[in-house]
Amino acid sequence: MINYLQITPDLLTYVRECSAPESDALRGLRERTAALPEAMMQVPPEQGRLLTLLTLLTGARRVLEIGVFTGYSTLCLATGVPADGTVLGIERNQQWLDIARPFWDRAGVGDRIETVTGEAEQVLDAMTDPFDLIFIDADKERYDHYYEAALRLARPGALVIVDNTLHFGRVVDPEAPTDDPEYERMRPQYRALDRLNRKIAVDPRVDCGMVPAFDGLTLCRVRESGDQGGVIDGAWPEPKRQPSTVPTAGL
């Protein structure tokens, strides 16, 4: 059995010391967002750097982000596209976009970023132009719709990145009994993500892999028609769920 690292505060500090430093714009945006009640929705610097690297590695010129929040991940993606590239972000909260724009401009990539304000489902349904990389990080209960839209809009060979696919680890058993009202409120999200994770795992349209880092990150390469990609003979066995309970305190 693989023993994954326990990320302690000291180890996280070490990781940040040994990684490319945040730009002044990224750091300023992170600090500005930290004052918001929804600050936990922002991707951490390590994930942001990974998004930049994935954009660079794929050579993406047209990037779609579904769910912008205050634009930290958007800025990371825009840093990775070439000077004539474009990141199109969909966000329903204009106030969050108003926070983001000055930092994008400060970083010198504001001209690469376009935004659409509105409900992602409606915006996506009206889109037709293809993208090289798509990052999904919005309403979890609608992830399946976003995923299907992403596959429709992705060019062959494009990368689709799905965030929060482990969602606090609760996708393991979304039906775990609990009397915690917050867990019950979030349960539809855990169910939706569990269904999507299992769908992606056997989806013949993509090559995929789930990374147990951050809050779970799933990477999907969109296959060309007739492309078998890295498919493995046979299928993953259906896991046997073990009965579990959710603690009522400390969540």
Which domains are present in the chain?
A: 9-222 (3.40.50.150)
Q: Which residue has the higher pLDDT, 244 or 114?
A: 114
- What secondary structure letter does DSSP report for 241? P
Beta bridge partners of 65: 89, 135
Asked whether residue 174 carries a pLDDT value surpassing 50, the answer given is yes
- Which DSSP category does 206 fall into? E
Structure tokens at 231: 């498919």
Q: Is the pLDDT score of 169 beyond 90?
A: no
pLDDT of residue 246: 44
Beta strands in the chain (DSSP E): 62-66, 86-91, 113-117, 131-136, 154-163, 206-211, 217-222
Helix (H, G, I), strand (E, B) or coil at 136: strand
Rounded to whole angstroms, the Cα distance separating 104 from 119 reads 22
pLDDT tens, position by position, 22-67: 999 999 999 999 999 999 999 999 999 999 999 999 999 999 999 9
What average pLDDT score do residues 146-156 get? 97
For residue 41, the model assigns a pLDDT of: 92
pLDDT tens readout for residues 65-92: 999 999 999 999 999 999 999 999 999 9
Contacts of 112 by beta carbon, 8 Å cutoff, 6+ apart: 78, 81, 83, 85, 86, 87
Please count the helices (runs of H) and the strands (runs of E) in the chain. 8, 7
pTM here is 0.87
Please give the pLDDT value at position 79: 97
d(CA 96, CA 37): 12
